[in-house]
Amino acid sequence: MGENAETQVQTKLQRHQKREKQVLLFYCIECEDIALKIAAQSDLITLQSINWRNFDDGFPNLYINNAHDIRGQHVAFLASFSSPAVIFEQLSVIYALPRLFVASFTLVLPFFPTGSFERMEEEGDVATAFTMARILSNIPISRGGPTSLVIYDIHALQERFYFGDHVLPLFETGIPLLKQRLHQLPDADKIVVAFPDDGAWKRFHKLLDQFPVVVCTKVREGDKRIVRLKEGNPAGYHVVIVDDLVQSGGTLIECQKVLAAHGAAKVSAYVTHGVFPKRSWERFIHKNNVGFEKAFSYFWITDSCPQTVKAIGNQPPFEVLSLAGSIAEALQI
């Protein structure tokens, strides 16, 4: 075998060992910023476009550009189910892409939006998390097999069992981004991680076991649910509250009050998914140094909810930790 042939074989073997593959990444309109960041992470990722149009009656009029050219290619779609209004048009594309003779199909849905609605506490409750999982489980199989479904920090651990065999869920986490940021802080040796309830502790404590831990809990007093310190000592530490998502932020604020009352030097928060309906993030913004919420030195979120990121920017105490690098790596799995 000649030298050039040997070199070519070695190159092929190295590529195979690294499992590198060219990925064509489609994305919804509101994910354009993070899609650009993902593509910037790797020469192996090329962005593709879709014409997101509507008929006069409001229903989608969609067109996948260069559909013929994606045959035999590894294809991915970056979704954001930020509201029921945008889910249908994205599902239409998600169901269409695997049928275009692609080599494989990956759906990246960083935030699984119905995840907090998984319980049936009485007859008549509708567990919409299960409904969404069933919809995604029926994505058509591509030539390469079942769809790979990438989700970050799903709300309830049992929800991983809601998905059927036609999809292969890959559950990732944003916690490594938080750990990297914490190690950059000037008081990195004085960090304590706090969990607002037992659910957050179950999800994340093994990923953060190098830090001392504080656990809060909610107890019912009459008609109110009060946050109490369950275990751990926050006194003198920079305490970082960790959870998967935030809605109104009420629990985080109550938790912050309790930690401050027990001597925390300062309090910060991290959530993977900053949902913040009705602009509830505004209660955390530092305005003229007034208000107890300023006790949050930092509030870290990821860009899993693009509309929130666009609204907040980097107004203190908020910092956005991008999932782009993690998603780029997941697309190579």
Cβ(231)–Cβ(258) under 8 Å? no
Tokens for 105, please give them.
Answer: 């199909």
Determine the pLDDT at residue 44: 97
Q: Which residue has the tokens 């008081």?
A: 187
Q: What amino acid occupies position 138? A: N
Can you tell me the mean pLDDT for 242-255?
Answer: 94
On whether the CB atoms of residues 256 and 196 are closer than 8 A, the answer is no
> Contact at 8 Å (CB) between 174 and 321?
yes
Q: What is the pLDDT of residue 21?
A: 92
Q: What are phi and psi of 226, to 5 degrees?
A: -105, 140
What is the Cα–Cα distance from 25 to 76, expressed in whole angstroms? 5
> What is the 8-class DSSP label of residue 204?
H
Band of pLDDT at residue 291, cut at 50, 70 and 90: very low
Confidence band for 16, pLDDT divided at 50, 70 and 90: low
Share of the chain above pLDDT 70, in %: 89
Q: Mean pLDDT, the chain, as a whole number?
A: 90
Specify the pLDDT at position 48.
Answer: 98
Instruction: Please list, in sequence order, all residues whose beta carbon lies within 8 angstroms of the beta carbon of residue 297, skipping any fewer than 6 positions away.
Output: 238, 266, 267, 268, 317
Neighbours of 184 (CB within 10 A): 7
Q: Which of residues 221 and 12 earns the better pLDDT score?
A: 221
Q: Classify strands 224-231 and 238-246 as parallel, antiparallel or unpaired.
A: unpaired
What is the pLDDT confidence band of residue 3, given thresholds at 50, 70 and 90? low
Write down the pTM of the prediction: 0.89
Judged against a pLDDT cut of 80, whether residue 68 lies above it is answered with: yes
Specify which of 125-134, 148-157, 233-242, 305-314 reaches the highest per-range mean pLDDT: 233-242
pLDDT tens, position by position, 152-182: 999 776 777 789 888 999 999 999 999 999 9
| pLDDT of 2 above 80 | no
On the CB side of 97, CA atoms within 13 Å amount to 32
Length of the chain: 333
| C-alpha separations of 138 from 94, 97, 132, 162, 163 in Å | 10, 13, 10, 12, 9
How far is Cα 318 from Cα 310, in angstroms, rounded to an integer?
12
